[in-house]
Amino acid sequence: MRKSMTRLLAVIIAACLLLGAVPATESQTPQARIKIDIDRTIGEVHPNLFGNFAEHLGRMIYGGIYEEGSPLSDKDGYRQDVLQVVRQLNVSILRWPGGNFASGYNWKDGIGPKDQRPVRPELAWNDLESNRFGTDEFLKYCEMAGTEPYICINLGLGTIDDARHWVEYCNESRHTYWADQRRRNGREQPWNVKYWALGNEIDGPWQLGHKNAEDYSKFALEAAKAMRSVDPNIKLIASGSSNYGSNADWIHWNSTVLNTLRNQIDYIALHTYINNRDNDLEKFLAWSQTIDNYIDVTAGLIKQAQSGQPNPRPIFIAYDEWNVWYRAFNREKLEEVYNFEDALAMGMFFNSFFRRADVVKMANLAQMVNVIAPIMTNKQGLFLQPIYFPLVEFSRQRGNQSLDVFVSAPTYKVGNRPALRYLDVSTTYNAAGKTIYVNVLNRSKDKDIATRIDNQEGELLGEVGVWEMNHPDLKATHTFGDDKKVRPVTRTISASLSNNGFSYTFPAHSLTILRLRLK
Ligand code: AHR
């Protein structure tokens, strides 16, 4: 009798764990389940989710991607060693010139013969701007790197005329004043810049030309109309809120922007920088709750702005600044030294973007080189920070459709927030290659999580590709001459299939991409 009671209890506990109903304790082996169904699609994983950002800030441009006179640069000043690792990063779209810098920038200072360009005080970051890297240098860089350019206009201290002239300079094919200036500067064909941001973080009091929601929206609407009449094919990104201090304020900002600009814009921008100030891994990797919330609330506001419209314009989210940023906040020109746990956070961001692939259609890591960046340079060379590797892999190993997977796993809580699963998961599918990618972040500091992976449609093949990032030291970092420590490992395993599924254990504090094939 006692034996059968014990067995019953064990069955109940196992069932609860499987449903994620009770948090795992130290003594129990956690159990989880991931159920894949290729028919349950969320949306296209847009190639623009693998974007990056290059601001005139610290050593991002000068001394980063561009260093005139360096033996590592070509004759025009582009650092060739940096270009090579930027290409490997598969940057799909590159935002420029800021950031906060954009709100004080006069693009007309940055064209024509370099030696005649004015040096200006740079007010956002308290620097000097030589203007030796300007519009043509940026657009040429994008061509060399094989990335789509994305320009942020100055809606802080700038004018609407400046904005429409910039579009004319870049995109006009007829003989107009600004198109002919471009020709004189060496570029006959239009650059055809498709993506344009209507200012940066204008809701932030730190921004040059900061405005309230109503003033920004009116100004941005007129700028959008003027820019579109120069080139009707451009895509416009409104400045969403980045000032999350007060819940009501950021929601009011996004709602006002969306309601005023709903017939003009294609995207609304979101920005999020996360931190591990409490030095608590599991809390750090719970930031996905905040990111998911920003996305879900903004997606709701988009719906609200579109509702009742007979023919609503599609509007998406451009998460055009995201990263971990807290150690080098006001020092050393934002040169964050990233560690292994930050690499885990890269997977967390992508999982959030993929899970809302229906609405998040662009994302730009902030930033690309030296400034809160995966690539660090000095005069002699460069090194790759641990965050570089997941960025490469998420862009490379993915299907073009995001799938809505069922996940049950042991949970934990951060403060009063709802419980969250230790396993943070997203899944993508490539129908042409019959390949499924399962992206799993195990946020547990010390628990390996044995997981059953089941597939619903199509027969799984036993060969599974594994890409994994893990390291015993959460704080492990790289430096010049020593950037091989925190690197991913890859292997192929033969899964023992049963009932179109198999078991896999995700190690504590690890990021894994499983590549599954269907027959
Ligand atoms: O990426 C660094 C800065 O962070 C950007 O200039 C600004 O937009 C944000 O506040």
List pLDDT tens digits, range 331-376: 568 999 999 999 999 999 999 999 999 999 999 999 999 999 999 9
Sign of the four-CA dihedral 78, 80, 86, 92: positive
What percent of the chain lies above the pLDDT cut of 90? 92
What is the residue with the minimal CA distance to atom 5 of ligand 1? 99
Instruction: Tell me which of 122, 321, 336, 393 is the catalytic residue.
Output: 321
Looking at residue 357, its amino acid is A
Q: How far is C-alpha 289 from the chain's CA centre?
A: 16
124 CA: nearest ligand 1 atom: 6
Strand partners, 418: none
pLDDT of the residue at 244: 83
Ligand 1 close to Cβ of residue 341 (< 6 A)? no
Residues 6 or more apart in contact with residue 46 via CB below 8 angstroms: 357, 360, 361, 362
Angle, to 10 degrees, between the axis of helix 160-171 and the axis of helix 213-230? Answer: 30
Ligand 1 close to Cβ of residue 134 (< 6 A)? no
Confidence of residue 248 (pLDDT cuts 50, 70, 90): confident
Q: Read off φ and ψ for residue 49, nearest 5 degrees.
A: -70, -10
Query: In the chain, what are the domain boundaries?
Result: 25-41+404-518, 46-398
The pLDDT of residue 29 is above 60:
no
Tens of pLDDT, residue by residue over 93-146, are 999 999 999 999 999 999 999 999 999 999 999 999 999 999 999 999 999 999
Which of 271, 332, 372 to probe ligand 1 with, by most ligand atoms within 8 A of CB? 271
CATH-assigned architecture of domain 46-398:
Alpha-Beta Barrel (3.20)
The pLDDT of residue 315 is above 90:
yes
Mean pLDDT, range 453-464, rounded to an integer: 97
323 CA: nearest ligand 1 atom: 1
The phi-psi region of residue 209 (left if phi > 0; otherwise alpha if psi is between -120 and 50; otherwise beta) is left
Tens of pLDDT, residue by residue over 383-396, are 999 999 999 999 99
d(CA 362, CA 197): 12
Asked if the 25-41+404-518 domain carries CATH number 2.60.40.1180, the reply is yes
pLDDT of the residue at 6: 42
321 given a catalytic annotation: yes
Confidence of residue 25 (pLDDT cuts 50, 70, 90): very low
pLDDT of the residue at 332: 65
Tokens 């599974």 — which residue? 464
d(CA 63, CA 75): 15
Helix (H) or strand (E) holding 354: helix 340-355
Instruction: Tell me which of 55, 129, 172, 201 is the catalytic residue.
Output: 201
Environment class of 410 (CB within 10 Å of its CB; exposed 0-12, middle 13-18, buried 19+): buried
Q: How many CB atoms lie within 10 A of CB 408?
A: 19
143 given a catalytic annotation: no
Report long-range pairs for 21-24 (Cβ below 8 Å, ≥24 apart): 22/410, 23/410, 23/411, 23/412, 23/413, 23/419, 24/410, 24/422, 24/447
372 CA: nearest ligand 1 atom: 1
- Distance in Å, CA 66 to ligand 1 centroid: 20
Look at residue 410 and give its three-state secondary structure: coil
What is the residue with the minimal CA distance to atom 3 of ligand 1? 99
Ligand 1 close to Cβ of residue 99 (< 6 A)? yes
Ligand 1 close to Cβ of residue 370 (< 6 A)? no
125 CA: nearest ligand 1 atom: 6
